[in-house]
Structure 1
């Protein structure tokens, strides 16, 4: 899950790590601070860019972000020029982050780029974003796992 470190105020913020594909490892990062707005974005833009019907985003304080891998920061691409840039590993192509121009307080991280996204209860999505743009078949998917048989 996440590790805890004490800061100068004596409180213990959570530190999470993540990065691109383990087979590559060029882009690594840590984020420290509270989770902000974990959600699934179902917009056509995220779908086209990622090749998936939705993406799982989580916000963190920009001040708590540190790029730690040998590749430094991800490669940034302005998906909405002058508004939003998306970060990805220039070597393996893993989607990692998003940042909005003019907002230096929050960084959006794809939850799946975090090392322990599957076991961290703070990352569970709390809402669906842009549902009207979802693939029409998505509502037909059964959210319950199939019974073993």
Structure 2
């Protein structure tokens, strides 16, 4: 049975489909990935171009080096892809509709890994900052984030475009 992975950006303007296993799932700690993700690392995994398609919209691309371009949603800015010019495209694992379905198996570029990562599991959990169930329902009811599944039309017509 072929694995089908779907995903897209936060606003739903760009959606994709990947068939088959997502290979080389990893956390990249290089400085370029840190900047592209706006985070400490970027989780990526690859799929052959022949098994990949856009199901809604097209990403914008930024050439972050002579050999690499990075795809992102031109509307909401979500980082989506890394294309190193080979036979596959790397997908940001967090953009998958089911990100837990692909577990990273390794890390790369550890010379840029944050020195404090080993301490993260020991950070205090500030429960007072957690949303209550009522707050979570209010946020969910007003969310303009695309749901974690394909939709026929997005955004719903009832939403006015906000700039």
Q: Do both proteins adopt the same fold according to a TM-score greater than 0.5, normalized to the shorter chain?
A: yes
C-alpha offsets along residues 59-99 of structure 1, whole Å, 9 cap, x if unaligned?
Answer: 11111111011x2x200111112x01000000000000111
The reply on whether 1:128 has 2:107 as its aligned counterpart is yes
Q: 1:52 to 1:136 in 2, by over 3 A?
A: same
Contact 2:36 2:79 in 1 (8 A): no
User: What TM-score do you get using the length of structure 1 for normalisation?
Assistant: 0.78
Flag the 1:143–1:59 CA change in 2: closer, same or farther, 3 A. Answer: farther
Question: Would the alpha carbon gap of residues 145 and 16 (structure 1) be closer, same or farther in structure 2, given more than 3 Å must change?
Answer: farther
Q: Which structure shows the higher strand fraction?
A: 1
Q: Which runs of 5+ in 2 are unaligned?
A: 128-163
**In the alignment, which residue of structure 1 is the partner of 2:94?**
112
Q: CA deviation at 1:144?
A: 9.2
What is the number of residues matched between the two proteins? 126
> For 2:55 and 2:98, how far apart are their aligned partners in 1?
17
Aligned equivalent of 1:9: none
Query: In 1, distance between residues paired with 2:73 and 2:65?
Result: 19
Taking structure 2 as the reference length, the TM-score comes to: 0.71
Once the 2 structures are TM-superposed, how far is the Cα of residue 115 of structure 1 from its aligned partner?
0.2
- How many Å apart are 1:145 and its aligned residue? 9.2
Deviation at 1:139, TM superposition (A): 3.2
Q: Matched residue of 1:136: which SS?
A: coil
Larger radius of gyration: 2
Gaps of at least 5 residues in structure 1 are: 1-11
Does the Cα contact within 8 Å between 2:9 and 2:76 map onto a contact in 1? Answer: yes
Q: Is 1:94 aligned to residue 78 of structure 2?
A: yes
The structural deviation recorded for 1:13 is 1.5
Distance 2:18 2:36 in 1: 24
1:14 is displaced (CA, Å) by 1.2
Matched residue, 2:116: 137
